[in-house]
Structure 1
Amino acid sequence: MYITEYLSNDIKPGKINYSPHQLLEVLEENKLNYIPLFDGLHFVGNISEEDLVELSLEGNDKVDYTTYLEKFFLSESSTLLEAVQMMYTNQTNILPIINEQSKYLGLITERDIIKIFANFPFVSSQGISMLVSISEKELSMSSISNIIESNNGKILGMMIVGNKEDSVYVLIKFSSSNLLTIGETFERYGYQVIQKFYNDEKQELLHSRYEQLLKYMNT
């Protein structure tokens, strides 16, 4: 999952001799809120759309961008998950990838990341999602896998999605026709099933009885 597997060269970065209007055209065309700037082949930093709008209103074509630059970037060894975190931290939808010699390798956008994650089996495969919680000291990914697989299910992915006090919340995606048994097995082993993203037999039965009750009351 190194970021270099996903980099793109579809969008050309800016140059420090470009005017604010030229840089804004690139931002607007590609729906970006930052653009990386270069002095020749050397990366000097990123500038935001907000700052470029302010500079464009001053009416100067030649601008010293130095005080406006923000130096966030990814390296060759960065991962896709680090890209997500860096985008969030810097409130940007684009990140340049720079090597140790400050040479530009490419970039990745928020749209690219969404597309990549959308094609991961954890997201794209048909299956059931279940959110469970358990105390942190009792959490075991192998135990979760065993519960699913011992009930003839197939694990598609797991993700720790949060912590509250001493409990850990785990989102599990799996395929199985044995949904009720899996839920009951989790509860038997001390897990609390928070949400099930499917309609199980109990829910369908309750829904059916509710509809019958409404029909009876309306007659």
Structure 2
Amino acid sequence: MQAYEFINNMIPPLKFTDKVKMALSWMEEIRTNVLPVVHEGQFRGLVTDEQIYNLNNPDLTIQEVEMESEACFVYKDKHIYDVLRVASEFQSNMVAVIDREGVYHGVITLEDAISAFADTLSIQSQGGVLILSMYMTDYSLYEIARVIESENAKILSSFISNDPLDDSKIKVTLKVDKSELRHIKATLERFGYKVIDHYQEEPSTSGEHDRLGNLLRFLDI
């Protein structure tokens, strides 16, 4: 799942010589509010429709617009995880893809990245999601897995994030292969783990909405 596999070829890059009114026309046509800017084969940043509207001069060229998010890129051999990380870091719906020589190859939209992640086996598999809160020094996936496996369940995927309610702790989000979580939750708590939330998934019919919902629950968004 390397980044170059998910480049969206429908999104054209802007050149320094392009007029901003053309950029707005492209944005409207492909229904986006941001486009990449490329000069001499190098990624130079992103331009948003808000920037252009604030300038209030349709005859300006892209070169005259102050570029944003020049570091909003990933190398083409990076994993799709890195695309999601960079998109989150820059609060952007689009991430550029370049090679190790800095040559621009295209962009990946946040929607494409989420769809790619949602298509992974661990997200689509039926099961449940548990969210634990703990200190980083107490985190051991091996020990957590051992407790969960004692209930004849397995961890399909795990995800660590900062606990917004306590900077000294982390949240550990676990996808397990069992939909019934009552016994697993009780066993974890018996071993001293704090389970702050859980989601028991029902068998679903298929569809993009179901996969996206599973992903957002997994990431605890």
Normalising by structure 2, we get a TM-score of 0.76
Alignment of 1:165-204 (within 5 A): 166-176=168-178, 179-198=181-200
Q: Return the alpha-carbon distance in structure 2 between the equivalents of residues 172 and 44 of structure 1.
A: 38
- Give 1:30's aligned residue: 30
Which residue identity lines up with residue 34 of structure 2 in the other structure? Answer: Y
User: Using a 3 Å threshold, how does the CA distance of structure 1 residues 188 and 91 change in structure 2: closer, same or farther?
Assistant: closer
Which protein, 1 or 2, shows the higher relative CO under an 8 Å CA cutoff with sep ≥ 6?
Answer: 2
How far residue 77 of structure 1 moved from its aligned partner, in angstroms, is 4.0
User: Using a 3 Å threshold, how does the CA distance of structure 1 residues 18 and 135 change in structure 2: closer, same or farther?
Assistant: closer
Q: Return the alpha-carbon distance in structure 1 between the equivalents of residues 23 and 182 of structure 2.
A: 56
Alignment of 1:52-201 (within 5 A): 52-55=52-55, 57-60=56-59, 63=61, 65-70=63-68, 71-72=70-71, 73-163=73-163, 164=166, 166-176=168-178, 179-198=181-200
Q: Return the alpha-carbon distance in structure 2 between the equivalents of residues 162 and 94 of structure 1.
A: 24
CA contact (8 A) 2:131 2:172 kept: yes
Which residue identity lines up with residue 126 of structure 1 in the other structure? Answer: Q
Task: After superposition, give the CA deviation of every residue in 1:175-208 in whole Å (9 maximum; x if it has no partner).
Answer: 2376333222211211122223239xxxxxxxxx
How far residue 54 of structure 1 moved from its aligned partner, in angstroms, is 3.4
Which residue identity lines up with residue 171 of structure 1 in the other structure? Answer: T
- What's the RMSD between the two structures over aligned residues? 2.5
The residue matched to 2:74 in structure 1 has which SS? coil
Normalising by structure 1, we get a TM-score of 0.77
Task: After superposition, give the CA deviation of every residue in 1:62-95 in whole Å (9 maximum; x if it has no partner).
Answer: 5262451232322234332332232233332112
Task: After superposition, give the CA deviation of every residue in 1:17-68 in whole Å (9 maximum; x if it has no partner).
Answer: 221111111212223232112335343332221122234x3242x5262451
Which residue identity lines up with residue 170 of structure 2 in the other structure? Answer: V
Which residue identity lines up with residue 194 of structure 1 in the other structure? Answer: I
Q: Return the alpha-carbon distance in structure 2 between the equivalents of residues 47 and 165 of structure 1.
A: 34
How far residue 141 of structure 1 moved from its aligned partner, in angstroms, is 0.3
User: Using a 3 Å threshold, how does the CA distance of structure 1 residues 99 and 166 change in structure 2: closer, same or farther?
Assistant: closer
Number of positions where the alignment pairs a residue of Structure 1 with one of Structure 2: 197
User: Using a 3 Å threshold, how does the CA distance of structure 1 residues 45 and 158 change in structure 2: closer, same or farther?
Assistant: closer
Unaligned regions of 5+ residues in structure 1, if any?
A: 200-219
Q: Return the alpha-carbon distance in structure 2 between the equivalents of residues 46 and 136 of structure 1.
A: 36
Q: Return the alpha-carbon distance in structure 2 between the equivalents of residues 147 and 51 of structure 1.
A: 52
User: Using a 3 Å threshold, how does the CA distance of structure 1 residues 47 and 81 change in structure 2: closer, same or farther?
Assistant: same
Q: Return the alpha-carbon distance in structure 2 between the equivalents of residues 195 and 22 of structure 1.
A: 48
Say which one has the larger Rg: 1
The residue matched to 1:197 in structure 2 has which SS? strand
How far residue 171 of structure 1 moved from its aligned partner, in angstroms, is 1.4
Unaligned regions of 5+ residues in structure 2, if any?
A: 202-221
Identical-residue share of aligned pairs (%) = 27
Q: Return the alpha-carbon distance in structure 1 between the equivalents of residues 136 and 44 of structure 2.
A: 44
